Structure 1
Amino acid sequence: MSLDSFISKAELTVGEHTYTYFDLKAAEANGLPNITRLPASLKVLLENLLRNEDGVSVTKADIQALANWIDNKGSVEHEIAFRPARVLMQDFTGVPAVVDLAAMRDAMVKLGADPAKINPLNPVDLVIDHSVMVDYFGTADAAKKNVDREYERNMERYNFLRWGSSAFNNFRVVPPGTGICHQVNLEYLAQTVWTSVAGGGDVAYPDTVVGTDSHTTMVNGLSVLGWGVGGIEAEAAMLGQPIPMLIPEVIGFKLTGKLPEGATATDLVLTITQMLRKKGVVGKFVEYFGEGLTTLSLEDQATIANMAPEYGATCGFFPVSQATIDYLTATNREPARVALVEAYAKQQGLWLDPENDPVFTDTLELDLGGVLPSLAGPKRPQDRVLLSDAASEFAKALSGEFNKAGDETRSAAVAGTDYSVKHGDVVIAAITSCTNTSNPSVLIAAGLVARKAKTLGLSVKPWVKTSLAPGSQVVTDYLNAAGLTADLDALGFNLTGYGCTTCIGNSGPLPEAISAAINEADLVACSVLSGNRNFEGRVNPDVRANYLASPPLVVAYALAGSLNVNLSTDALGTGSNGEPVYLKDIWPTNAEIAEIQRANVTHDKFSARYADVFKGDEHWQAISVSGGQTYQWDATSTYVANPPYFEGMTMTPEKVTDIVEARVLGIFGDSITTDHISPAGSIKKTSPAGQWLTDHDVPVSEFNSYGARRGHHEVMMRGTFANIRIRNKITPDIEGGVTKHFPSGDVMAIYDAAMRYKAEGRSMVIFAGKEYGTGSSRDWAAKGTKLQGVRAVIAESFERIHRSNLVGMGVLPLQFKIDGWQKLGLTGEEIVTIRGLETVQPRQELIVELFRASDGKVARFPVRCRIDTPTELEYFKNGGVMPYVLRNLARG
């Protein structure tokens, strides 16, 4: 327990139960002045330090440094150790994490230590939500067929996860077909105030979480502080290691007014995302405040919190309010827990007080009354366009960034049909992603749009692939109760499964004839999805322009069939009476939506669906569990394998050596995402990963996706930097994951070049521009980089999670102190040397030396070492966080 330097340990009685807690008001009275003026998110961090003060990982000076935030507002760098209450995983990132834990148990045996020491010390929940694909759609049995296919593809992975759920303590698995991890977290797992037993009694403290998915921030809407980390950091947290972090700046976002008629929470979050990206909040906390919060539902808040990665913030936090209490009650949390949340939040100053604003590093403000219907696209979530401007903005993008000027009217006949497709046609319309499917208001709105469209005789255009993939089974229950399922089904928005689907690239293939027409005519086809990500190459390989929109707009664009239609003024189609039908004719009022929501989104539905959430369907229950403390690896498996991270590992780490005469594997521009770096989406037969699978007798029809094969390093390291849309400046005329090997000049896949350099005894470096590693918290973006032999990434700036993941794998992140690689005239032929690594310190300046063989000249330039904290330095010296933790546990 805590050393309690500020005498904050106290008791709180709620009803008939008494809890121990660490009282911020007492700490203020005992040496931490003005902390009641801190943002609520920092109060949660401060309580975390008070409760975990041990004089080693958390010191009195650390607590004082956080309290001093009131004076410096986060401008003073100070590392603190954050200990989350629990860890959340999804299966794409969770499988490799469990693989690593199993590998660590094997390594413990080799080191002569007890493998049982490798065990989660904090509660871990893994929700299988990333594996279902939209192979079947538009039929009553689409969901069943997709689930059957999911199990066919993923049985090896699911067998492994069933073993993990029995082999590890504090580890639970929510089976496939239940929902999306963030929505399950919001509706069931999260408690807002957590309790645990210590010292013979119950201790109450804020619920906090880290998750192996960047959208873990969604639960910030329920006043649970948490964010996405790489699987590497999550494993450390599971094993009792604190998360090292710098005390953040906190940007206050003031909301006033009320959303106008016709505007949705999706329109609001797209507006906020654009504003905060422009403001620049990477690496910072965002906290919402102001009287406008009282007009938002908890689900609206969760929608806003969900997209913190898109606006670049570490988190997007909301204080506890009456909306929190109402939501916890409505979703069947225990009455005693709900009472504790209210009492604790009010006692600790975590309750929303619109009359007394906290102190922030900086603020910005939005009047909710000015929010207008919007989309975001065609490639980035921050690129908001008004609905009224969407058609004209697409036309600009078509002639500009898609380079189709003069060719805007091209079309291609679809074989076997009586229609053609053209630039701008919507070929995917997907109601998907927890961002919006957690919010009943927008799903009910989508159902009402479908109902009114059906009544007027409208139908979806035949080239549109439609899908409905909610984030929990509760959604189906309330849509059924409201009679809206039949209306959505009538337009082809049949249930396709419970999972992330289109939002993460599991959109499934387009019909062959449509795919062929798009590719043969080189058309810029479009998708409209209610997700949070629309990066290039993410949604579907045939679709180049992707737009985020609210669920009712997804339905509307399915009816219109094209981004060239201005939904504000143009008709969606012709009704059964021969008259044109406009969006205003089928758009529901806020009152209609609210009435249906009140009547049908009820307590009993959450109670029924979550009563036995870990049981699973007949597929899951039929999986037999075998194996003991260590996993019996199957050498023939192409899904799960023992990774090479611990090969030859000894109790004492080898000294860090300088990078001498390394080759340049890639030179990349700005905004290279983890989708570009990490293997994601489908596996091409001609790719290195496809060739490896073929060599191991896997037919193309069973390739599955990179995400599903994240437990096998041989597949994943071959898929690193293999994105079809990535552009390497070493080979500027070729799109895709290729590079040039030097000095031979041979052009080849990046993986193949990396293996050739490794065979030659060369290490490698990567050069990149701004915001390197933006996007999802994909640990394989760092793991694959490491396994390919890259020792350093030199970029103009890094996204927070990926920088941390690189360090966690022992790869050195370096940040330019000059303008960037463009000024250096790099070609890829350069030989790179970086010295002084044995004695490197956090954020130290280093010198990079470039030798150009073509002219014999040497250039030197300064970089900042982006190992940011002493703890991260220990990870780096040990070759990564996993060897660091393993050695410490083996010694203990």
Structure 2
Amino acid sequence: MSSRNSLQTLTTLQVGDISYRYHSLPKAAELLGEIDRLPVSLKVLLENLLRYEDGVTVTRDDIQAMADWLVERRSTREIQFRPARVLMQDFTGVPAVVDLAAMRDAVARAGGDPQRINPLSPVDLVIDHSVMVDHFGEDNAFHDNVAMEIKRNGERYAFLRWGQSAFNNFRVVPPGTGICHQVNLEYLAQSVWAEQIDGEHWAYPDTLVGTDSHTTMVNGLGVLGWGVGGIEAEAAMLGQPVSMLIPEVVGFKLTGKLREGMTATDLVLTVTQMLRQRGVVGKFVEFYGDGLADLPLADRATIANMAPEYGATCGFFPVDEVTLNYLRLTGRPAEVIERVEAYSKAQGLWREPGHEPVFSDTLHLDMSEVEPSLAGPRRPQDRVPLGGVPDAFKELLALQLTPASTEVGRLESEGGGGTAVGASTGEVTVNIDGEEHTIKHGAVVIAAITSCTNTSNPSVMMAAGLLAKKAIERGLQRRPWVKSSLAPGSKVVTDYLEKAGLTEYLDQLGFHLVGYGCTTCIGNSGPLPEPVSQAISENDLVVSAVLSGNRNFEGRIHQQVKANWLASPPLVVAYALAGDSLLNLAEEPLGLDADNKPVYLRDVWPSNAEIAEAVALVEDDMFRSRYADVFTGDEHWQAVATSGGDTYAWDSQSTYVQNPPYFEDIDKPIQPLRPIEQARVLAVFGDSITTDHISPAGNIKASSPAGQYLQEQGVSPEDFNSYGSRRGNHEVMMRGTFANIRIRNRMMGGEEGGVTIHVPCGERMSIYDAAMRYQSEGTPLVVLAGKEYGTGSSRDWAAKGTNLLGVKAVIAKSFERIHRSNLVGMGVLPLQFTNDQSAASLQLDGHEVLSIAGISDDIQPGQKLKVTAQRSNGEQVEFEVVCRIDTKNEVDYFKAGGILHYVLREMIE
């Protein structure tokens, strides 16, 4: 807490029987001026600075800069933000705990006390990313999938159970419970945090960072938080502030109401498209306007969840009566609700009707103008009206049917895509369960109700169940080639679907419960039925998946599916009935009833009144009972054996968890920064390269470097599991970096896959093999890329893998926020082209030798550096780049070799 308090803001707030200490924003205004006009999200940051003012990391000038923001509505001031807590999911959480365990080992080797390595802020890790849809369309699907999950992940789970007992301030929510963001929204978050320090009660805004980009979902509850890489989250756990520039805040005004038949998903896809087109990367978005009064909290959370898709750091909703009602519904204690209301009103954080803060920029949406929508087939910001889906698919199909060599120019702005399919008829007959069916281009082969984004919202979940009921009553059924699944974000969802009498109808359509986790949305869709899989492969079919998730990047959902559509849960059900993305559901029938009469989507779509009647069945007791023992776990979790001790007993034979090499030289002096000399280019990429492209994700191919390594360790391909599940083993992950099947290295002339050329010998090989050869030759490496490099999920392995491959710098036209930070955090230099230049405009083809001058211990944020590229013919080209180390804190981290190295060296010293 504050050791300075130069503005004398400390005061007390009486709530019931408890007197809370807090730093008053109205008191601060007496010296700072009219700060009430600040966006609420910036008021939360201001309170954080008041609370942690120490004259060193937070100064009086930092606090004044928050008030001065009102003048220019933007700032170049760097501030240090200290979140109240950290949230993790298991894919990103396991490597974070691996790093903590490795740091304990390093401290012990240096003669220190390993117990010094502990989270200083509360950390909750929710195991939600490991369940896969192996079994579906059957009553035992959930039980069988959980059993397979435990079997596959025994080593990881034993490691996490060790961490739960070894580290203070660290809790684990076991598998089969829910998705981290939904558990956060429904249980963990408090809107206003409270703790006891030296016998005194303190109150302050609930804030957090999370190791998943959709941490922003909780912004809907008035909680300021966003996704960071695991690297940055670990530093926050260990007491390091999150360094950031005071952001621009874009105000998004909502007015009106959704029309009959519109869903929260339609609204969020519209908002996502509008904000992505406006350009809000690195900015806060704050929602305001009188339309919020009638916007349910679940709808707010759905919009906030999608902040990474519209590119913002967060999508924030202030606290109001809707917030309190949700806290009551989800079973929060009365004293928490009283504290939230009293504190928010005392601090000016409460949303008042008609209040319009000052913003850097504004947008407006009349919600009555929203229309039924999907997003796809490749990006979440590409909204398509329901009736426009066939044409959007045809455009993709035309692209896929065009030879790849002629498409390089067209695909220049896309991260992958473009492999030409053969001379296929686009139609094939397959035998499924003894019956003949025709599958063609556009067939929907996956229909998944999944992801925290929509399964947290009772209105769209009830709508899905009601549509299923009406469809069954009209005699419709799921198409046999559709793999259908239901993976809610919490157990409460199945409780209210059961109470509404809708579970049986979803089951009849094949939407049986398959697990409580992210499943299809993160690529854990499991295998397609063999006849369908074979038909796609042998006939080069371009097929579709429809899911209620938030990401649909290429290669993410399933390796055989090239068109992925984000949709509301009821539309997921509708497409399972139709089985065809070339069908215009706005006009054409879903199918025929028993009397051979056409049944249209409008015939089975539930009314708003029917949905509201079903939603009214959701009760607070459901939440209280489900979260009463949320950290206990079932018999499977309880049976996982684990070791004890302050340091982890590493198993050299484990293929899931290994001691990483990052801290091997931590006891040696820091080496001074030097220019990069005689570097080779590992790969040249276009625009919109996502962390899905960079970081190992999805299934592991037997022929890949990672697959070959696992087979050498005695692991058979059927036991490979996913890359995400093996994030605790650097040997697997570094082999899978840049190995995405859809990534396109321009050095390979448009070919897909993680391959490159080892330039000195001209040999074609995997990116991993080339990197290892360059390392053996002592050659530093550089990656060249286009715009929005590193967009997508906050995957720390996108930076860790880059580091371990020997890449010293990435030169791109622009970077996505989290990945840029992660590169710095792993000691990789992010550099940005200037003057509208690019690898293409400079005619860099990847065969050059690059040298980067100006890198030294005096390096400054935003410094210009000179790059010299020598072509194979001896010609030289020089160009300037901007050093995207953005803050002074990041300079310190980079000089130390990375953020964790910086923290660990401080602890050892």
User: TM tier, shorter chain?
Assistant: over 0.9
SS of the residue corresponding to residue 171 of structure 2 reads strand
- Tell me whether 773-782 or 828-837 shows the greater mean CA deviation: 828-837
Q: Is the 8 A contact 1:770 1:797 kept in 2?
A: yes
What is the one-letter code of the residue matched to 1:846? L
What is aligned with 2:194?
A: 195
1:821 counterpart = 2:821: no
* 1:92-491 alignment runs, 5 A limit: 92-400=91-399, 403=402, 410-415=426-431, 417-491=435-509
SS of the residue corresponding to residue 554 of structure 1 reads helix
In 1, the alpha carbon distance for the partners of 2:96 and 2:750 equals: 37
SS of the residue corresponding to residue 125 of structure 2 reads strand
What is the one-letter code of the residue matched to 1:73? R
What is aligned with 1:561?
A: 579
1:18 counterpart = 2:19: yes
In 1, the alpha carbon distance for the partners of 2:274 and 2:543 equals: 28
In 1, the alpha carbon distance for the partners of 2:187 and 2:44 equals: 21
Give, in angstroms, the shift of residue 733 of structure 1.
3.5
What is the one-letter code of the residue matched to 2:580? S
What is the one-letter code of the residue matched to 1:747? R
What is the one-letter code of the residue matched to 1:660? E
Which of 863, 866, 869 aligns to 1:847? It is 866
What is the one-letter code of the residue matched to 1:204? A
- Tell me whether 10-19 or 45-54 shows the greater mean CA deviation: 10-19
Deviations 1:98-142 (A, max 9, x none): 000000000011122211110000000000000000000000000
What is aligned with 1:543?
A: 561
SS of the residue corresponding to residue 644 of structure 1 reads coil
What is the one-letter code of the residue matched to 1:473? K
Using the aligned pairs only, state the percent identity. Answer: 65
1:765 counterpart = 2:782: yes
Deviations 1:425-475 (A, max 9, x none): 000000000000000000000000000000010000000000000000000
Q: Is the 8 A contact 1:472 1:498 kept in 2?
A: yes
Deviations 1:516-538 (A, max 9, x none): 11111111110000000000000
In 2, the alpha carbon distance for the partners of 1:365 and 1:473 equals: 36
What is aligned with 2:795?
A: 778
What is aligned with 1:873?
A: 891
What is the one-letter code of the residue matched to 1:825? Q
Deviations 1:457-513 (A, max 9, x none): 000000000000000000011111111100100000000000000000000010111
Give, in angstroms, the shift of residue 829 of structure 1.
1.0
1:88 counterpart = 2:105: no
What is aligned with 2:694?
A: 677
Give, in angstroms, the shift of residue 407 of structure 1.
7.3
What is aligned with 2:548?
A: 530
What is the one-letter code of the residue matched to 1:874? D
Give, in angstroms, the shift of residue 72 of structure 1.
1.4
Give, in angstroms, the shift of residue 408 of structure 1.
8.9
What is the one-letter code of the residue matched to 1:128? I
What is aligned with 1:72?
A: 72
Which of 723, 726, 732 aligns to 1:709? It is 726
1:586 counterpart = 2:604: yes
In 2, the alpha carbon distance for the partners of 1:199 and 1:6 equals: 23
In 2, the alpha carbon distance for the partners of 1:604 and 1:69 equals: 45
SS of the residue corresponding to residue 730 of structure 1 reads helix
1:794 counterpart = 2:832: no
SS of the residue corresponding to residue 765 of structure 1 reads strand
Q: Is the 8 A contact 1:651 1:887 kept in 2?
A: no
In 2, the alpha carbon distance for the partners of 1:638 and 1:132 equals: 18
Q: Is the 8 A contact 1:256 1:366 kept in 2?
A: yes
1:46 counterpart = 2:46: yes
Give, in angstroms, the shift of residue 656 of structure 1.
1.4
Which of 687, 692, 706 aligns to 1:689? It is 706
What is the one-letter code of the residue matched to 1:423? H
Q: Is the 8 A contact 1:398 1:408 kept in 2?
A: no
Relative to the length of structure 1, the TM-score reads 0.99
Q: Is the 8 A contact 2:424 2:539 kept in 1?
A: no
Give, in angstroms, the shift of residue 415 of structure 1.
4.3
Deviations 1:351-375 (A, max 9, x none): 1123120000000000000000000
SS of the residue corresponding to residue 67 of structure 1 reads helix
In 1, the alpha carbon distance for the partners of 2:874 and 2:374 equals: 52
In 2, the alpha carbon distance for the partners of 1:667 and 1:563 equals: 34
1:863 counterpart = 2:881: yes
In 2, the alpha carbon distance for the partners of 1:194 and 1:353 equals: 22
What is aligned with 2:406?
A: none
Q: Is the 8 A contact 2:424 2:541 kept in 1?
A: no
Give, in angstroms, the shift of residue 405 of structure 1.
11
SS of the residue corresponding to residue 655 of structure 1 reads coil
**What is the root-mean-square deviation in Å for CA atoms of aligned residues?**
1.1
What is the one-letter code of the residue matched to 1:436? N
In 1, the alpha carbon distance for the partners of 2:304 and 2:52 equals: 27
Q: Is the 8 A contact 1:848 1:860 kept in 2?
A: yes
Q: Is the 8 A contact 1:402 1:524 kept in 2?
A: no
Query: What stretches of structure 2 of length at least 5 have no aligned partner?
Result: 403-419
In 2, the alpha carbon distance for the partners of 1:191 and 1:505 equals: 31
SS of the residue corresponding to residue 236 of structure 1 reads helix
Give, in angstroms, the shift of residue 651 of structure 1.
5.4
Give, in angstroms, the shift of residue 627 of structure 1.
2.2
In 2, the alpha carbon distance for the partners of 1:408 and 1:152 equals: 40
1:62 counterpart = 2:62: yes
How many positions carry a matched residue from both structures?
A: 887
Deviations 1:397-428 (A, max 9, x none): 22236538997962122245401211100000
What is aligned with 1:750?
A: 767
What is aligned with 2:716?
A: 699
Give, in angstroms, the shift of residue 17 of structure 1.
1.4
Q: Is the 8 A contact 1:399 1:408 kept in 2?
A: no
Deviations 1:371-412 (A, max 9, x none): 000000000000000002112222222223653899796212
- Tell me whether 120-129 or 399-408 shows the greater mean CA deviation: 399-408
Which of 468, 492, 495 aligns to 2:513? It is 495
Deviations 1:9-28 (A, max 9, x none): 11111122110111100100
* 1:646-657 alignment runs, 5 A limit: 646-650=663-667, 652-657=669-674
SS of the residue corresponding to residue 153 of structure 2 reads helix
SS of the residue corresponding to residue 32 of structure 2 reads coil
What is the one-letter code of the residue matched to 1:59? T
SS of the residue corresponding to residue 792 of structure 2 reads coil
Relative to the length of structure 2, the TM-score reads 0.97
- Tell me whether 508-517 or 764-773 shows the greater mean CA deviation: 508-517
Give, in angstroms, the shift of residue 652 of structure 1.
3.1
In 2, the alpha carbon distance for the partners of 1:188 and 1:619 equals: 23
Q: Is the 8 A contact 1:94 1:212 kept in 2?
A: yes
What is the one-letter code of the residue matched to 2:297? L
In 2, the alpha carbon distance for the partners of 1:241 and 1:396 equals: 48
In 2, the alpha carbon distance for the partners of 1:259 and 1:134 equals: 34
1:518 counterpart = 2:519: no
In 1, the alpha carbon distance for the partners of 2:586 and 2:606 equals: 15
SS of the residue corresponding to residue 824 of structure 1 reads coil
Give, in angstroms, the shift of residue 648 of structure 1.
2.2
Deviations 1:598-655 (A, max 9, x none): 1x21010001000000000001111233220000000000000000001122253111
Q: Is the 8 A contact 1:90 1:212 kept in 2?
A: yes
What is the one-letter code of the residue matched to 1:163? W
In 2, the alpha carbon distance for the partners of 1:140 and 1:420 equals: 27
Give, in angstroms, the shift of residue 840 of structure 1.
1.3
SS of the residue corresponding to residue 564 of structure 2 reads strand
1:576 counterpart = 2:587: no
